[in-house]
Amino acid sequence: MAQKFDVHIIGCGSALPTRRHLPSCQVVDVRDKLLLLDCGEGAQLAWRTTGLNWQRITHIFLTHAHGDHVFGLPGFLSTMGLLGRKSPLYLHGPASLKDYVEYSKAHFFDDISYEIHFEIVDTTKHQCIFEDRSMEVWSLPLKHRIPCCGYLIKEKPELPHIRKEMIDFYEIPIWAINNIKAGADWKTPTGEVIPHTRLTTPAEPARAYAYCSDTMPVQEMATWCEGVNLMYHEGTYADSESQLAEKYFHSTARQAASIAQAAKVKQLVIGHFSSRYDNENILFKEAQEVFENTILAHEGLKITL
């Protein structure tokens, strides 16, 4: 069975508050490590409804310095201190947010029990900005009114599965198993070479999630995010507001779908909805005309990759 790779939508509204949506925030659960993507106001309050454990948050990735993406951050960081967090927390985002975090810490929660490390992301480059045993995170340069970048979270391939019946048949000792998983063939006592591919079945293909908000359509996304399992792309406006989308450096739902189509992603979830829509049916319809496997984000939605 594939290991955990879930996306939890905490907020998918835009700048103006509504009764229906919170500002931007998501949690990505990769094999029980939690990554926060953006941290709009109210994130720490809504967090409680996810049932996830604060202690498992290892990284926060921030797209840009607009309030609806970061005004929940001081409260979130402060509360983790009150709850006794000890392990260091790694923040990644555009340069101006480093100052914001430092200012907030110095004025409001300088006594917290854990370290905060802020790593500045170059929002103009598509590159790997974080890597560990189980994943890589790549920056995705976005086109917004201020420096802004999305994030591509790529699972690392798992090792192939051992075929137990073959191991038993050839009486292969346990010490050899990891080598075989890593690609070594097996030589029997009689000198017969058994290719490792006969002793294993392939692992599930590595999965990937792309988070693209806020942005105008960026054509390079088709290459950077080719074939990802899930793409979240902002679709702030309907076709009828396409001039607003252009003016404010946002995308229409239809444009989001075109990017998803060009990138041949498996599924698209749109969000960052303008407050003008009482419901997002029009956005859903216009996106789905271009890319069928589209869904609408909503608070509390959990998508398993």
* Nearer Cβ to its own copies (112/199): 112
Q: Where are the beta strands (DSSP E) in the chain?
A: 5-11, 25-30, 33-37, 57-61, 89-93, 116-120, 128-131, 135-141, 149-155, 161-162, 186-187, 193-194, 200-201, 208-212, 230-234, 267-271, 294-296, 302-304
Q: How far is the CB of 21 from its own copies (least distance, A)?
A: 9
* Nearer Cβ to its own copies (23/217): 23
Distances (CA, A) of 89 to 208, 209, 247: 23, 22, 36
Q: Does 58 bind its own copies (CB under 8 A)?
A: no
Name the residue among 4, 26, 6 with its Cα closest to residue 233.
26
Q: Checking phi first, is residue 102 left (phi over 0); if not, alpha (psi -120 to 50) or beta? A: alpha
Options 59-67, 127-135, 165-173, 264-272: segment touching its own copies (CB under 8 A): 59-67
- Cα torsion 91, 96, 101, 106 to 10°: value is 140
Which residues carry out catalysis? 68
Q: Does 44 bind its own copies (CB under 8 A)?
A: yes
Q: Does 169 bind its own copies (CB under 8 A)?
A: no
Interaction residues for its own copies, span 133-162 (CB under 8 A): none
Q: Are strands 57-61 and 33-37 parallel, antiparallel or unpaired?
A: parallel
Using the structure block, give the residue that is written with the tokens 């998918």.
Answer: 12
* DSSP-assigned letter for residue 251: -
* Nearer Cβ to its own copies (51/173): 51
Q: Does 83 bind its own copies (CB under 8 A)?
A: yes
Options 65-73, 118-126, 150-158, 288-296: segment touching its own copies (CB under 8 A): 65-73
Q: Does 74 bind its own copies (CB under 8 A)?
A: yes
Q: Does 109 bind its own copies (CB under 8 A)?
A: yes
Q: Does 103 bind its own copies (CB under 8 A)?
A: yes
Q: Does 164 bind its own copies (CB under 8 A)?
A: no
Question: Residue numbers of the site for its own copies (CB under 8 A)?
Answer: 15-19, 22, 41-42, 44-45, 47-49, 65-68, 71-72, 74-75, 78-79, 82-83, 96, 99-100, 103, 107-109
